[in-house]
Amino acid sequence: MSSPQSIGRFAPSPSGPLHFGSLLAAIASFMQAKHKGGKWLVRIEDIDPPREVSGASATILKQLEQHGLWWDDDVVYQSNQVGHYFEILNYLEGQYLTYNCSCTRQRLISLKGIYDAKCHGQNLSSENTSVRLSISDSIKATGMANDRIKFYDLIMGDYAQSLIETLGDFILRRRDGLISYQLAVVIDDHLQGITEIIRGFDLIDSTPRQILLQQCLGYKIPVYAHIPLAMNSLGQKLSKQHHARQLPQNKEQEQLWLALNWLQQQPPTELRACSVDDIIKWGITHWDISKIPCTTTGISAPKSFYTA
Ligand SMILES: [Zn+2]
């Protein structure tokens, strides 16, 4: 047992069943926590109702069980956490780190993704507005040197992003009243005591925003690792939109072996014929995150996992 305990998590959104790409994130986060004798938690990110598919949460949990990926503690559903999110949002507002923004969709599109802080200092009412985090006020409040957030990724190495140049003040609460992914994730990771976050490379550019929020809230910053993306033959990230197949049932052993192999853990060929439990045990014992390749362009998934 390591001390303090390592706590990892898998946090799928219930937009469909697991495919090979999401299975990789589940396995990598599971193995990293379990190899250290730690805990692995599951959180369902269900605060964006329009993106949800009914029954998907139950399907995902069943798929995890069938792959021998048993979680510790109760599953957390973000839809039950909304009260916490608003408490923390109120706190940030009370620290004068946020402001209301009334900019139209059209104006935001014309800014090409880099918000120019037009509504900062305007004291707009909270009605029909979104809430943004002020990066400049956050830097002052936290004593950070500037808006360039750096972190060391266990797989990708050093990563840095200037938030003002690439994004500008970002949204914490949408105009429709929904809490943003960035704020919800930071609060949940803190409440669940997550020490290591292993997830897909497509989320690496969310990490600096999450680190800034962690600084503003006085939270401990977890360790991050972003695994390369699994790609189809057209060079697209495997996803429901890009022809990813739902993982077939009764092929869990094969899928676990292929996933460990994809993650370059070098599972022996004999392991392919073993039980789910044996493959999981082998994976935990032999897990070595440093074997995962550092590539930003992704790695091809085995052909059987997509249709394109
Ligand atoms: Zn605005």
Q: Structural domains in the chain?
A: 7-79+193-209+221-305 (3.40.50.620), 82-183 (3.40.50.620)
User: How many A from CA of 110 to the centre of ligand 1?
Assistant: 12
User: How many A from CA of 187 to the centre of ligand 1?
Assistant: 25
Q: At residue 1, does pLDDT exceed 60?
A: no
124: alpha, beta or left? (left if phi > 0; alpha if psi -120 to 50): beta
User: How many A from CA of 93 to the centre of ligand 1?
Assistant: 16
User: How many A from CA of 206 to the centre of ligand 1?
Assistant: 21
User: How remote is the C-alpha of 160 from its chain's centroid?
Assistant: 18
User: Who surrounds ion ligand 1 at CB < 5 A?
Assistant: 101, 103, 118-119
How many whole angstroms separate alpha carbon 15 and alpha carbon 166? 28
Q: At residue 3, does pLDDT exceed 60?
A: no
pLDDT score of 308: 64
**Residue of higher predicted confidence among 271 and 237:** 271
User: How many A from CA of 108 to the centre of ligand 1?
Assistant: 8
User: How many A from CA of 22 to the centre of ligand 1?
Assistant: 35
pLDDT score of 235: 87
User: How many A from CA of 112 to the centre of ligand 1?
Assistant: 14
191-241 pLDDT tens trace:
999 999 999 999 999 999 999 999 999 999 999 999 999 999 888 988 877
Q: What percent of the chain is predicted at pLDDT more than 70?
A: 99
User: How many A from CA of 101 to the centre of ligand 1?
Assistant: 4
Q: At residue 38, does pLDDT exceed 50?
A: yes
The predicted model scores a pTM of 0.95
Question: 99: closest CA among 125, 131, 75?
Answer: 131
Q: Positive or negative, the Cα torsion across 91, 94, 98, 100?
A: positive
Q: At residue 139, does pLDDT exceed 90?
A: yes
Element of type H or E holding 294: none
Phi, psi of 103 (to 5 degrees): -60, 140
Write out the two tokens for 141: 């409040």
**Residue of higher predicted confidence among 113 and 31:** 31
